[in-house]
Amino acid sequence: MAVLVTGGTGYIGSHTVVELLNEGKDVIIVDNLSNSKEMVLLRIAEITKGEIAEDRLSFYEADILDYESLEKIFSENSIDSVIHFAGLKAVGESVAKPVEYYMNNITGTLVLLEVMKEFNVKKIVFSSSATVYGLHNVSPLTEELPLSTTNPYGSTKMMIEQILQDVYVSDNEWSIALLRYFNPIGAHKSGRIGEDPTGTPNNLMPYITQVAVGKREMLNVFGADYNTEDGTGVRDYIHVVDLAKGHLKALQYIDNKNIIEAINLGTGNGISVLGMISNFEKATGIKIQYQLVERRPGDIATCFADATKALKLLDWKAKYNIEDMCRDSWNWQQNNPDGYQ
């Protein structure tokens, strides 16, 4: 029996595929390569070489909105469960292109669920986000808090969570994990897979590593007047390999159960932007030029997880510290200054 991984050549998907293969699972990836490169597959094979027979991983270049392609994948393989990463994820872009975001993320999920139902596959782990906690909840954020969003991207996550709740109510043979990620950074220790943003990075860590490698002159620190220890925004950064392992634990948890659970995947620790800069400098010995600028619209002061539910239900907690995250992000950037190009 295999795990179908949608969006499996992407940043978090590729790290999760490595962990699944290392655990002895058969894996099928479906990805339309809209935000990833086929080269990722070679890198995954390289990392897992020696331990993994080639026939344990297959790849379909297909769009999850394409019903017939998904039917073909399900009919050609013996699929037991799905980890659903495929989606568009840029907050700013979602404000400019809402229809594209709703179409891709919502319709894509609906088509996937239709085909899963047709093939009687009822186990799914979904990539949600801490963005569903909105602007007003106070950290540490627990899973029962009321949800709200401020942009179309976040709304797609909240709506898909609702759709999955409704699916479960309609047929409680389903088993569903809604994983709310905090801020994934870092890369596999080999430095062969990592985050490869297109154009100017929106997120803090890829921006820092591009300054470090000389691709950008200086980091803009968005806001130094927040009500935080040093005035800059505080987030819960989590190593992508820890996050990947959380998916394996979630798969195990939903196996042989009929449940739906929303679970935070974060460390439970908040780090400020200036704190991140100094951790990066300490871990790598490289000085990061930065300037303090205006707040970025839509940002909140502080966002970190209450991570106790994941420990209790999944027996999972993050193992890597901030130094590991900085070192591994830098190792990836240094070895791949132009990403997968």
219 vs 326, beta carbon nearer ligand UFG: 219
202 vs 334, beta carbon nearer ligand UFG: 202
| Distance separating alpha carbons of residues 281 and 269, to the nearest angstrom | 19
81 vs 333, beta carbon nearer ligand UFG: 333
Among 22, 142, 203, 258, binds ligand UFG (CB under 6 A): 203
Q: ∠13-241-338 over CA atoms, to 5°?
A: 65
Tokens, residue 249: 């634990």
Question: Taking CB under 6 A as the rule, does residue 194 contact ligand NAD?
Answer: no
Draw the binding track, 139-168, toward ligand UFG (x: CB under 6 A; -: no contact). ---------------x--------------
User: Is-catalytic flag, 153?
Assistant: yes
Tell me the window of 12-20, 68-76, 80-88, 197-205 that interacts with ligand UFG (CB under 6 A). 197-205
Query: In angstroms, what CA-CA distances link 239 with 7, 39, 244?
Result: 19, 22, 9
Question: Taking CB under 6 A as the rule, does residue 82 contact ligand UFG?
Answer: no
- Kind of pairing between the strands at 183-185 and 123-129: unpaired
Q: What is the DSSP string of 144-202?
A: TSPP--SSHHHHHHHHHHHHHHHHHHH-TT-EEEEEEE-EEE---TTSSS----SSS--
Q: Tell me which of ligand UFG, ligand NAD, none is bound by residue 148, counting a contact when its beta carbon lies within the kind-specific cut-off of 5 to 8 angstroms.
A: none
Question: Taking CB under 6 A as the rule, does residue 181 contact ligand NAD?
Answer: yes
* List of residues 6+ apart from 214 with CB closer than 8 A: none
Among 95, 222, 224, 286, binds ligand UFG (CB under 6 A): 222
Question: Taking CB under 6 A as the rule, does residue 231 contact ligand UFG?
Answer: no
Minimum distance of ligand UFG from residue 35's CB (angstroms): 13
156 vs 331, beta carbon nearer ligand NAD: 156
Minimum distance of ligand NAD from residue 64's CB (angstroms): 4
> For the chain, how are helix, strand and coil distributed in percent, rounded to 5?
40, 20, 40
Beta bridge partners of 68: none
Q: What is the size of the binding site for ligand UFG (CB under 6 A)?
A: 21
Minimum distance of ligand NAD from residue 12's CB (angstroms): 4
Which of positions 99-128 make contact with ligand UFG (CB under 6 A)? none
Contact 304/235 with Cβ under 8 angstroms?
yes
Handedness of CA 150, 13, 341, 218 (dihedral sign): positive
Minimum distance of ligand UFG from residue 3's CB (angstroms): 24
Question: Taking CB under 6 A as the rule, does residue 12 contact ligand NAD?
Answer: yes
Q: Tell me which of ligand NAD, ligand UFG, none is bound by residue 207, counting a contact when its beta carbon lies within the kind-specific cut-off of 5 to 8 angstroms.
A: ligand UFG
Question: Taking CB under 6 A as the rule, does residue 33 contact ligand NAD?
Answer: yes
| Distance separating alpha carbons of residues 153 and 131, to the nearest angstrom | 9
| Distance separating alpha carbons of residues 127 and 87, to the nearest angstrom | 9
Catalytic residue among 153, 181, 237, 253: 153
Estimate to the nearest angstrom the gap between the alpha carbon of 325 and the chain centroid.
Answer: 15
3-state secondary structure of 236: coil
Q: Tell me which of ligand NAD, ligand UFG, none is bound by residue 9, counting a contact when its beta carbon lies within the kind-specific cut-off of 5 to 8 angstroms.
A: ligand NAD
Which of positions 108-167 make contact with ligand NAD (CB under 6 A)? 108, 127, 129
| Distance separating alpha carbons of residues 222 and 300, to the nearest angstrom | 11
Instruction: List residues with catalytic annotation.
Output: 153
Contacts to ligand UFG by CB under 6 A: 89, 91, 129-131, 154, 182-183, 202-204, 207, 219-222, 233, 235, 273, 296, 299
